[in-house]
Amino acid sequence: MVLTGRESLLRLIGKRRRFLPHRHSILSHPNPNPNPNEVSQVAEPSPADQNDDVRCPVCGRILPGDNRRINSHLDSCLSQTKPLTPSKRKLSQRTLLQLNFTLSNSKPKFENRVAPVPPPQNHESEEEKSEEIPECHGAALDSAVSGVPDECKPDELCCTLETFIVGRRYADDREEVCVGSAISLLRDPRNAKDPNAIKVVSADSGCCKSLGFLPRELAQYLSPLIDNYGLDFLGQITSVPKHSLDIVPVQIMYHRTSDGESKYADEIFKSLWKNAQRVVEFASRNPSSSVKYQLNFCLMLHEVLRNNIHLLTEDEKSYMESFSLLSNDSQRLFIRLYNRKGPWFRTSSISYPEILDTQKAVKGLAEKGYIHSIEDANQLYESDVIDILNILTVSELREIWCILLKKSNGHAMKKQHLISSLSTDADILWPQLSTMILERIGSCIMISSKAESLMWRIERLFFLNGEQDLSSFLLVDMGKIKYPAYNCLMSEQIFSNRRDLLSYEEAIEVAQIMDEALDANEVDVVLRCIKIAESCVSTDLPIQYSASESISLIRRLFTSSWVYSKVVTVGISFLEQERRYTNAINLLKLLLNVFTCDVRRGYWTLRLSVDLEHLGCIDESLIIAENGLLDTWIRAGSRMALQRRVLRLGKPPRRWIVPSFSRSALRKIPEVFVKGRPLNSELGAKNRYYDEEGKQCGVEELALDYYAGAGGGWQGVHAESGIWLTIFGLLMWDVIFANVPNVFYTRFQNAPLDFGTDGFYTARKSCIESHLQQIRDGMAEEFLIKSWETHIGTACRGVNWDCHSLDELRAVVTCVGGTCLASLCQLLAQDYRSWSSGMPDLLLWRFHGEYSGEAKLVEVKGPRDRLSEQQRAWLLLLMDCGFTIEVCKVKPL
């Protein structure tokens, strides 16, 4: 079922969860959200979530605000021999009464935080290891982490780091290493694989023989410190490996120059140094025997524990920390199973080369509560019958089917038919069925609901979206994706308390249940989810945001209200298809009353006006449209559609005065007509034609042929919005990834979190304006070439490196001109979300000499096609910006 807003909801949900903790409560409670004053009826917040929480002045922990619990905590806190926050004087009864219990919702401050990357792996073959060393994918594996006590601070004159020499294959003399040998670091910016490469050279000999390289994860932070801040690193070899190509442990120290004190005080220097320390810290905690996916998972776990400690209960923290106590085999087995479909797995079929003892690994996971193991038929439940049957082979299913149902024609049945037949009669056949299943599978395991729910939360907190998971690490390791370099400057957190997180998670559960119900055509469940979302949204006060408060605009994307608004939006589209216009109107009015600062108001207002017209309420529909035009949050195609509705509905005698926008809204757009020989004329099918050479083509290709020949000798591409978004991303690259606080929280982002919000332009206004002025002054081609050559292949939202060549983009930039480009870039910077779709189909250009030319944008329409309101809005806006615009209408011969 195609519903407006469902694709956006699917991106928010991400990979469907196998286990939803609140599914039963959501579907079975007689009255969704019966107490609107509570945030969640399913997941009760922990004591640390109450509004009157306080922070203990002794240890810093968050406590409930009642006196009994405070006194009880202080008794145990003060009895500790070593309090978490040492005091310079002994706390007496007098000083205790003077303590200041501050509210826990005071916002903690965090400096720039980027997580370490796993160390090089010692278990790999020598050739694989030496081939990997010069490459630099480590930057993409960073993630935001909170500040931790540093062993040495960046303002000291000298500090020590424990690390390794890797890439011994590239050493000048592989045998010449001994304990205590002096070493120094030498930058290698021309390294073909890694421009951040740092050579380790022998300081004992005058010829500076190369001993290898620093790990690329560490070099990405030390290289700018050497290049930009003049740090000088010396050190010594601390031990010698058995094999000449193995990693060599070393100790390095940096010395600052006296003329760079002002540089050392800035935030970027401190950030780079802290990141380098964390790489070293992470390497010391994770032995090189760990496999890559295991290191990635431990990194994610470690960073969530650091960065979101205030969102976890003591039980959850202990549970997560217990993972590090598991054996390597148990850790690897859990990660493998977590990323498989499941939910049940046959123990006998589990085999991975890196897991030495599967049975011991299963036992270790079961003891810690990470998996459930079933070895006896009495442990099976009828509710799991379908999932259990899925792990049987077809021959096993047929055998069971024939025995239990006493039939002999099962050989022609497929697996799903066999499962359906057995599960239908499971209540009757269960005792025998469970026994026969266990006889064949021996034993089976599944990840526990507690482990799965917590790991889902960890992934969501780490990536901050539903589209990325552990596979993102793999894509980076394989070089399939390269994320841009930027600084994570954070002073605010996305989730300020646990209650907000739990509400957000429950809202995503409702969204998933609704999506599943839409697939299964379960109308009652869909309506129930709509009702739950409506009930939750209706309890919110009107939500207003200031464009200057970037963090507020970002945080609203991680609230339960935001998720429920998406559920309601999809529900409105569902109700409209069911022709339940009265219900849809009530929901639209609710959304408009609650979300007063939202670009979706344009769609909601338009649908409200349309639905009112469906019910025959023409006057009210007209008033809604007229009031909508006064709303500054209604933009682009929605505004154009409302203007045209007002002009259509507001004719005399309803309205006698012609609106002031009538002339601009009804402007004529230049048109040209092209004739072609049609291939088909089916209603609803895409128009196909024969070109001049007799080949089949679409209307866009037919138009390109026309403009290349009789239409004026134009070159061009059929790209719609794609080429413009690519040009915008390349021209504005430095602006998009500028050092703006609280917009980059993880190293897996292809754009800042405020990208597409009004806060993006506001937070960078001076930078954007100066950059646009340079584009007007003719610097566009230089910006384009620089971004292409520096960042080619790097992920950036909207940029497609494969569809267009650099020569094509340079031609477009040259022919369009700086003034028009600056106007287009400014529009996208101010409101990317509203204007990133609906651009004309064709972009044409032709040169008048070597360095000048002209461009034309063409929207192509077939015989029965017409312009959408978004397309019309774009064409009129582009005309105002100075572009040459045409609509090409293709007619059959």
Q: What pLDDT digit, counting tens, does each position of 6-60 carry?
A: 999 999 999 999 889 889 888 876 655 433 333 333 343 443 344 455 656 556 5
Which range has the worst mean pLDDT, 13-27, 684-698, 833-847? 684-698
Q: What value does the mean pLDDT take over residues 56-77?
A: 55
| Encoded tokens for 458 | 């960890």
Residue 684 confidence (pLDDT):
60
Query: How would you classify the pairing of strands 62-63 and 853-861?
Result: unpaired
pLDDT confidence of 126, banded at 50, 70, 90? Answer: very low
The angle at the Cα of 309, spanning 305 to 314, to the nearest 5 degrees, equals: 95
Q: Kindly tell me the burial class for residue 402, based on how many C-beta atoms sit within 10 Å of its own C-beta (0-12, 13-18, 19 or more).
A: middle
Lowest mean per-residue pLDDT among 429-438, 669-678, 681-690: 681-690
Region 259-274: mean pLDDT is: 75
Spatial neighbors of 328 by CB under 8 A, at least 6 apart, are 289, 290, 294
Predicted pLDDT of residue 799: 97
pLDDT 10s digits, 395-409: 888 888 888 877 766
Closest CA to 141 of 304, 340, 295: 295
β-pair partners for 372 = 446
Q: Is the pLDDT of residue 484 over 90?
A: yes
Does residue 145 carry a pLDDT above 50?
A: no
What's the pLDDT at 132?
A: 34
Degrees, nearest 5: CA angle 865-871-876 = 125
Confidence check: pLDDT of 341 > 70: yes
Q: Is 74 helix (H, G, I), strand (E, B) or coil?
A: helix
Check if the beta carbon of residue 234 is closer than 8 Å to that of residue 183: yes
Q: What is the pLDDT of residue 467?
A: 92
Confidence category of residue 206, pLDDT binned at 50, 70, 90: low
Please report the pLDDT score of residue 455 as a whole number.
94
Contact between residue 867 and residue 861 where contact means Cβ atoms under 8 Å apart: yes
The answer to whether 426 and 408 have CB atoms below 8 angstroms apart is no
- Within 52-169, strands assigned E span 54-55, 62-63, 102-103, 158-165
Question: What is the distance between the alpha carbons of residues 209 and 201, in angstroms, rounded to a whole number?
Answer: 5
Residues 811-823, mean pLDDT to the nearest whole number = 95
pLDDT at 60: 56
How far is 91 from 606, CA to CA, in rounded Å?
65
Residues 460-467 have a mean pLDDT of 94
Beta sheet of 444-447, edge-to-edge order: 344-346, 444-447, 371-374
User: Which range, of 31-35, 276-280, 477-481, 866-870, averages the lowest pLDDT?
Assistant: 31-35
Which two tokens mark 699?
Answer: 């209307």
A 10 A CB-CB count for 98 gives: 9
For residue 687, what pLDDT is reported?
Answer: 79
Beta-strand pair 842-847/715-718: antiparallel
Task: Give dist(CA 97, CA 92) in Å, integer.
Answer: 9
76: confidence class by pLDDT, cuts 50, 70, 90: low
Is residue 870 left, alpha or beta, with left meaning phi > 0 and alpha meaning psi from -120 to 50?
Answer: alpha
Tell me 847's DSSP state. Answer: E
Cβ neighbours, 10 Å, residue 93: 6
Could you tell me what percent of the chain has a pLDDT over 70?
Answer: 80
Query: What are the distances in angstroms from CA 610 to CA 455, 521, 822?
Result: 44, 26, 36
Q: Is the pLDDT of residue 114 over 50?
A: no
Beta-ladder partners of 164 = 249
The encoded tokens of residue 529 equal 């989810």
Mean pLDDT of 857-873: 93
Q: Rg for the chain (alpha carbons), in Å?
A: 32
Q: Who's near 684: CB < 8 A, 6+ residues apart?
A: none
Closest CA to 572 of 591, 550, 548: 591
pLDDT recorded at residue 205: 61
416 Cβ contact list (under 8 Å, min separation 6): none
Q: What is the pLDDT, as a whole number, of residue 543? A: 63
Chain CA centroid to CA 61, Å: 31
End-to-end alpha-carbon separation of the chain, Å?
37
Q: Taking 90 as the threshold, does the pLDDT of residue 338 lie above it?
A: yes
pTM score, whole prediction: 0.76
Look at the domain 126-289 and name its fold: Alpha-Beta Plaits (3.30.70)
Q: Which residue has the tokens 């408060």?
A: 549
Q: Is 838 left (phi over 0), alpha (psi -120 to 50) or beta?
A: left
Q: Across the strands, what pairs with 889?
A: 673, 861
Check residues 58 and 868 and name the one with the higher pLDDT: 868
**Structure tokens given for 410:** 């099962």
Give the pLDDT score at 89: 36
Residues with Cβ within 8 Å of 846's Cβ and at least 6 positions away in sequence, in order, are: 712, 713, 714, 715, 815, 853, 854
Helix (H, G, I), strand (E, B) or coil at 149: coil
Choice among 29-43, 519-533, 746-760, 800-814 with the minimum mean pLDDT: 29-43
Closest CA to 586 of 632, 642, 545, 530: 530
Average pLDDT of 400-429? 78
| Segment of 320-324, 441-445, 728-732 carrying the highest mean pLDDT | 728-732
Mean pLDDT of the chain: 82
Residue of higher predicted confidence among 88 and 575: 575
- Span of 236-245, 590-599, 820-829 with lowest mean pLDDT: 236-245
pLDDT at 462 over 80: yes
Q: What is the mean pLDDT of residues 343-372?
A: 92
Look at 286 and 692; give whichever has higher pLDDT: 692
* Statement: residue 682 has pLDDT above 70: no
The pLDDT score that the predictor gives to residue 864 is 83
Both structure tokens of 726: 């690519």
Q: In what order do the strands lie in the sheet with 696-698?
A: 696-698, 688-690, 671-678, 885-892, 853-861, 842-847, 715-718
Q: Is the dihedral of CA 23, 25, 31, 37 positive or negative?
A: negative
Per the CB < 8 A criterion, the answer to whether 452 and 404 are in contact is no
367 or 542, higher pLDDT: 367
Q: What 3-state DSSP class applies to 125?
A: coil
**Surface-to-core class of residue 494, CB atoms within 10 Å of its CB (0-12 exposed, 13-18 middle, 19+ buried):** buried
Question: Among 721, 720, 723, 728, which Cα is nearest to 826's?
Answer: 728
Residue 627: what residue type?
N
Strands 158-165 and 696-698 come out as unpaired
